[in-house]
Amino acid sequence: MKSDPKKLKITVMLGGSGAEREVSLRSGAGVAQALRSLGHEVCEVDPGLEKWVLPKGTEVVFLALHGTYGEDGTVQRRLEELGVPYTGCDPEASRIGFDKFLTKQRLVAAGIPTARVMLVDSPAASWPMGWNPPVVLKPARQGSSVGLQFVERVSDWAKALAEAMRFDSHVLMEEKIVGRECTVGILDNHPLPVVEVRPKTGVYDYQTKYSAGTTEYFCPAPFDEETTARIQAAGLGAFSAIGGRDYSRVDVIVKPGGEPVVLEINTLPGMTDSSLLPKAAAAAGIGYPDLCQRMVDLALNRSRKEP
């Protein structure tokens, strides 16, 4: 798809009031700089600071928000009401993708391989029958590994559950899958080269994601063609299962036998200098400014087709 050479008035929404505010500010700053380098007029709006209004003449909104409000369908619904094109998934796909349990239900229904899971809704919940450690606890509606807890022993349960529940009233308890951590970027409904993530500490948590020098990245990931195709198919299948559009990033664990297991879907993936979607795009020959332009083009092309 060719980039639209037309110079546009673009509003980048960044920041917000959620737990991922700082990362969103970094994503938005990178996007704004890239779009300005292409000659666009770019305004920045931070919905976390005040009741926001779009600058007059905004032709398209680039959503560089992460987490609550930005990624859960809320801002998307507001932009739909305003009739302004915006990047990324629609409100419903955003809502499902942000809620890890709803995502799991869609994955299971679509036959996409994913980890065994149950939902915990009480901080006083005891260790459930029929489960053995190790397990992973995740707040149902957070991103960037916010609140992620690993439970290696039953005796660790109460403390880990209390910590995870600081970030949401519902927590996923998931079997811990051992394997290679990977992610599949999706752009224009096509999978990008797989990125393998190897944290030097062994755990790819919030701190590791956004601290320089703590993680090694391999892209394209060193898998054989057949395994790579399976990983990409799982990522694209997950994206389709939630009704995704334009772009996303799907996190996957690859078991030793080469079987991919989908963990979650990021409908507004990070766009910082250490983020994985830009790395995958670069491996496909798509530089950062061009990636941002393509995201804008997808939003505009869609809006032109709508009656």
Residues with catalytic function: 20, 144, 210, 249, 251, 264, 266, 270
Nearest CA-CA partner of 183 in 263, 289, 268: 263
H or E element at residue 28:
helix 21-37
Buried b (16+ CB within 10 A) or exposed e, 75-107: bbebbeeeebbbbbbbbebbbbbbbbbebbbbb
Q: C-alpha 202: how far from its chain's center? A: 21
The overall longest dimension of the chain from CA atoms, in Å, is 60
Q: 73: helix, coil or strand?
A: coil
What is the number of other CB atoms lying within 10 angstroms of the CB of residue 206?
Answer: 17
Helix (H) or strand (E) holding 265: strand 260-266
